[in-house]
Structure 1
Amino acid sequence: MEKEFQSAPKHFWQTIQRLRRGKRGSIQAVYSKGGTLLTSTEEVIGRWIAHFEELLNPPNLSSTVEADLEDEASKHQSPWRKSLR
């Protein structure tokens, strides 16, 4: 640290200030699905949790949609994949 202080004092003090402040979150508010602004920490965290649960656990598709997707996928498979079955 002493070497950095001598060679680049401005950078040294910026680093010290950043370390003193600690880690800060950059997002302070988000919108709900309904469009209202959520500002409390609990609401924001709850919205992020809901968002990622929706991404990671999509709702179940109906059987007709799944069948259509399988038919569409089988049309676009390479001949190599068909021979492996």
Structure 2
Amino acid sequence: MSNTFQTPAREELSVLDLMYVGFNSRVVALDRDTGEIVWDWKSPKGSGFVATLLDKDHVIASVQGYMYCLDALTGEELWSNPLTGMGL
């Protein structure tokens, strides 16, 4: 009998397994258990501060007058919208 312990293979990640951080025109999803980067998205426009909001399986990111919707599990950009007429 072996005394070797193996960590069970981790199943597919869910939104509850991730933390989302916005900084320097980027949104990064981190594995909440390991801190490893799962995905990294950079805004194609604007720079600086990023406001983020998690809505079910979407991450909404606001960067200098643009709103982006990202898939929360993959970081894929689903849509973007310039927030014209919002004082920017």
The TM-score, its normalising length taken from structure 1, stands at 0.25
Tell which structure's C-alpha radius of gyration is larger. 1
Higher helix residue share: 1
Q: RCO greater where, 1 or 2, for CA within 8 Å and sep 6 or more?
A: 2
Higher strand residue share: 2
The TM-score, its normalising length taken from structure 2, stands at 0.25
